[in-house]
Structure 1
Amino acid sequence: MNKLNMLVLFLLFAGLNVLAQTPADTTYYLKNKVGYVRNKDSADYKRVVTAPGPGSNLYQINDYYIDGKKKSTAQGRMDKRMIYEGPYVSYYQNGNKQKEGTYVNNELEGEVNTYYPDGKLYVTKIYKKEGTPALRSEYIKTVKDRKGKVLVVNGNGKYHIYDEDFKQITDEGSVKDGVYDGTWTGTNDEDQISYSEIYVKGKLISGKSKDEKGNSYDYTELIVSPEFVGGTGALSVFLGRNIKYPRKCMEEGIEGTVILTFKVLKTGALSEISVTREIHKDLAKEAVRVVKLSPRWKTGYYRGVPSNILCNLPVKFVLGN
């Protein structure tokens, strides 16, 4: 399920990061859990974006594994950034469907099916928005085991969650009326962490985890995100005070948002800073320089355990009058 060193926090940024000036059949390269990369050799897959045809505002977005096999198909519209809109299907490398559903304004809505690598149905969930302001809800409708036996029917039963390779069950617990309810337990072999949690009507009431050294941690929040000391406002002030607009970009009127990826370590220090969207090499270089000056952040926690968490940060460059 979740791996501590693969958690991704999107700070002040979400959605599909494709440049606003997307021409026909533009190819991008991406790395799992990171995003866009400049070097094809470091990519896990590629994205081909085709501009809308006559009378349409929807781009076609096709992802391919490096070996050329189709990874996913989707559509999107441009609204400052690319927004998923319409049918979506993803595939395993063996060609079988992995997931299918429909996006509405960049979020899956309605019925979404997930499949085992052999093509059999695994889980059916229903997503919808309700209330004012609208809140997105998830209803776990159906769960089947690998032999096709129904474990959850009409939102009630036992839910087994597998690792990414579907080799072992990592989490399991009860589902009632479509949401977590009762006791849930799980393990993460990579990080040697086990946990037990109590849910009531889908809400986490309490949890206790144990690390590889036998230390126990109590928690009431699944994830506590790392944070710049003082919050997003203080981060904006820090960036504003330290960024020096590159002269060449200033003279040529070049603006835009550079996207950086880095890890916030358990100590609060930043590590593995890289550029996932460049705009211009001088802007990217300046964004990296300034982020390297950052003081230590508040530590992030996963299931109560101090964790290294991967973050994406947009650094916006805008020229004044």
Structure 2
Amino acid sequence: MKKFLIIFFLNLMTIGSIHATNSSQMKFQQENMCNTKAITLLNKSKKARQDTVSVLKEFPFFPGDFNEFIFSNFHYPPSLQENCIQGRVVVKFCINPKGKCDHFSIVRSVDPLIDKEVLRVLKLMPRWKWRDSSKKCLWMVKAVEFQLR
């Protein structure tokens, strides 16, 4: 019983210290986030880049770096930059068997101006490449995060 109580309190203290560290880092980020004007695109994990709502054996792939393409073609609206509007836009689109993307829709919105710009950039995408000749459309969900630094 003593071992159980000791392990329980050690776990409780560890979780408390991790929570305190994370909340202080988030507060520091929020205070300093709007001080600079450069724009960065963040993708927290590979999972965010590979979110899909359909399962196939072979997935199409973007020719090049998807995030670099978005970053190089995206023009942040000046009014949103002044108001420090940022966040994650989640977009759903279909990749047809020829690799062309269409049927774009915003799943999670930050601001209508950012949504409009994200859709404009995604419509400029080159054709995706399939490893095999698929006869089906694949629905993809991509999360693009915009953060002012």
TM-score range, shorter chain: 0.5 to 0.7
Between the aligned partners of 1:249 and 1:13, the Cα distance in structure 2 is 28
Is 1:310 the equivalent of 2:144?
no
> Aligned-pair RMSD on alpha carbons?
2.2
Deviation of 1:11 after TM superposition, in Å, equals 5.2
Deviation of 1:241 after TM superposition, in Å, equals 0.4
**Ranges in structure 1 where 5+ consecutive residues have no aligned partner:** 1-9, 15-32, 35-221
Number of residue equivalences: 101
Contact 2:97 / 2:134 at 8 angstroms: preserved in 1?
no
Contact 1:262 / 1:271 at 8 angstroms: preserved in 2?
yes
Match of 1:255 in 2: 86
Between the aligned partners of 1:258 and 1:314, the Cα distance in structure 2 is 6
Match of 2:105 in 1: 274
Match of 1:291 in 2: 122
Between the aligned partners of 2:71 and 2:78, the Cα distance in structure 1 is 16
Between the aligned partners of 2:112 and 2:77, the Cα distance in structure 1 is 10
State the TM-score, normalizing by the size of structure 2: 0.61
Deviations 1:150-178 (A, max 9, x none): xxxxxxxxxxxxxxxxxxxxxxxxxxxxx
Residue identity opposite 2:130 in structure 1: T
Contact 1:300 / 1:309 at 8 angstroms: preserved in 2?
no
State the TM-score, normalizing by the size of structure 1: 0.29
Higher strand share: 1
Residue identity opposite 2:63 in structure 1: V
Taking only the aligned residue pairs, the percentage that are identical comes to: 29
Larger RCO of the pair (alpha carbons < 8 Å, separation 6+): 2
Deviation of 1:225 after TM superposition, in Å, equals 0.8
Between the aligned partners of 1:239 and 1:255, the Cα distance in structure 2 is 15
User: 1:12 pairs with 33, 43, 49, which one?
Assistant: 49
Match of 2:58 in 1: 224
After the TM superposition, which segments of 4 or more aligned residues of structure 1 sit over 6 Å from their partners?
Answer: none
With over 3 angstroms needed to count, the CA separation of the structure-2 counterparts of 1:305 and 1:290, relative to structure 1, is closer
**Ranges in structure 2 where 5+ consecutive residues have no aligned partner:** 1-46
Higher helix share: 2
